[in-house]
Amino acid sequence: MRAALVCAVLGAATSALAYPQFQLSTGNVRCSQCHFAPAGGGLINGYGRSEAGDTISAGGDGRFLHGLWEPPSWLGLGADVRVAGLMVHQSQDPQPAENHTKTTDFEVFPMLADLYGRVQVAGQFSASVTLGFRGKTRPEQSAAARLISRNHYLMWREGPTGWYVRAGRFYAPYGLRLPEHTAYIERFLGFDVLEESYNVSGGYVGDEWELHLTAFTADFIRESVGQGGSGGAAYFEHRPTQALAWGAQARVSAGSETTRSQGGLVGKAFLDGPRILLLAEADLVRETFKDAGPGRWQLAGYLGAAWLPVRGWMVQLMLERWDEDLARSGVARDAIGAELQWFPTAHVELSLYGRLQVIGTGSSDGSPSQVVLLQAHYYL
């Protein structure tokens, strides 16, 4: 159990995504204002780099290579490197009671090493690729076996706003799109680490609303990670004001053994006075089995608050719940987390993250467990 928990956390944040906490709180209403991808995430564009230096961080030059060299307008380049120190404290409460044990593990490891490239051709067409290494490996794996491309796709896009179509490997737009893959709404809804699917996706992005429709299938080049399956996803977001956004979503995935149908709501609200961004997501899942017994209803929920007291600092609190079977008692997982993030200068982030998870008595995983994660993040 100890090793499994450590491995789960080690592999948890090896893919660099957007920070939804900066939507609305920085005055930018859509994630694609700072990212090349129409739903946000991945390589940031020139405007996003300016925001990193002028608004988000305490200072510094956010341009590529700190402004030492400016790539041509048709070429986008970037890199992400994260190193982390981890402490996991796991309580196990077997029977009889006198066998109760508590264990603590410490790890220091490279969490992320990704290179980004984007080439724009013929004005509205582009090709993007991300290359990196698996965060979770086997000792016998060679460097070539560890190499992974989490994202690679071709895209036609009308402009900063308007219609788009893209095809390749990426996460289908859905939910809050948090960078922490240990979050239940990522881990249990088909968006865990290395679960990027192969997709054909299209939609419309405007200042007041956006719509993304995706047909997907699991990774067919390497062994599939996570739930696998093929299906479709839809995400709609409406922003009635510059301080409020709400979304509705649905996803269906059919695999060799199970079919999962899910849908939910997303909300974001920025309180300008105290400079607090509220984030929420709730999803209801129906899972059915092809060869074994009746199906079950599941529930995933997330409630978070991000406080940005002064430029360069962010404090977060999160409440999470995952109930793998609403008809059974004692199987739900609950977690509370807190994170302190410091952006002392553009390209640099330091983060201290803590999480307490309690699992129902009917689960075999044991409970409770505590995780403390210290990260140092640098990007070009």
Q: What CATH code is carried by the domain that includes residue 281?
A: 2.40.160.10
Is the confidence at residue 1, as pLDDT, over 50? no
pLDDT score recorded for residue 14:
45
Give 15 or 165, the one with higher predicted confidence.
165
CB 230 within 8 A of CB 254: yes
CB 13 within 8 A of CB 180: yes
Least confident of 161-165, 180-184, 222-226: 222-226
In the chain the first and final C-alpha atoms are separated, in Å, by 37
| pLDDT per position as a tens digit, 131-152 | 998 765 455 566 666 788 999 9
DSSP bridge pairs for 331:
none
Average pLDDT score over residue span 1-21: 54
Place of tokens 């402009």: 159
Which residue from 246, 245, 286 is spatially nearest to 265, judged by alpha carbons? Answer: 246
| pLDDT per position as a tens digit, 271-293 | 999 999 999 999 999 999 988 77
Task: Retrieve residue 322's tokens.
Answer: 């995952």
pLDDT score recorded for residue 101:
53
pLDDT score recorded for residue 122:
83
Buried b (16+ CB within 10 A) or exposed e, 337-370: bebebebebbbebebebebebebbeeeeebbebe
Task: Give the β-pairing of 197-205 and 244-254.
Answer: unpaired
Q: What single-letter amino acid sits at 361?
A: T
Is the confidence at residue 22, as pLDDT, over 60? yes
CB 357 within 8 A of CB 372: no
| DSSP state letters, 243-257 | TEEEEEEEEEEE-SS
DSSP state, residue 292: S
pLDDT score recorded for residue 2:
44
| pLDDT per position as a tens digit, 328-352 | 998 999 999 999 999 999 999 999 9
Average pLDDT score over residue span 185-201: 93
> 42: phi > 0 → left, psi -120 to 50 → alpha, else beta; which?
left
CA 64 remoteness from chain centre: 23
Is the confidence at residue 364, as pLDDT, over 80? no
81: how many CB neighbours lie within 10 A of its CB? 17
pLDDT score recorded for residue 140:
54
| pLDDT per position as a tens digit, 31-51 | 999 999 999 999 999 999 999
pLDDT score recorded for residue 141:
61
Is the confidence at residue 11, as pLDDT, over 50? no
| pLDDT per position as a tens digit, 71-113 | 999 999 999 999 988 887 765 544 444 444 556 677 887 888 9
The continuous run of DSSP H or E covering 288 comes out as strand 276-289
Q: What single-letter amino acid sits at 183?
A: A
- Total structural domains in the chain? 1
pLDDT band at 180 (very low <50, low <70, confident <90, very high): confident
DSSP state, residue 196: P
pLDDT score recorded for residue 3:
44
pLDDT score recorded for residue 322:
97
pLDDT score recorded for residue 97:
44
The continuous run of DSSP H or E covering 346 comes out as none
Q: What angle do CA 378, 11, 92 make, to 5 degrees?
A: 125
Structural domain span for residue 202: 2-138+146-379
CB 270 within 8 A of CB 25: yes
Least confident of 84-98, 155-169, 187-201, 280-294: 84-98
Contacts 24+ apart (CB under 8 A), 95-98: none
Residues sharing a CB contact under 8 Å with residue 201, sequence separation 6 or more, in sequence order: 165, 166, 167, 170, 172, 173, 212, 213, 214, 215
pLDDT score recorded for residue 135:
60
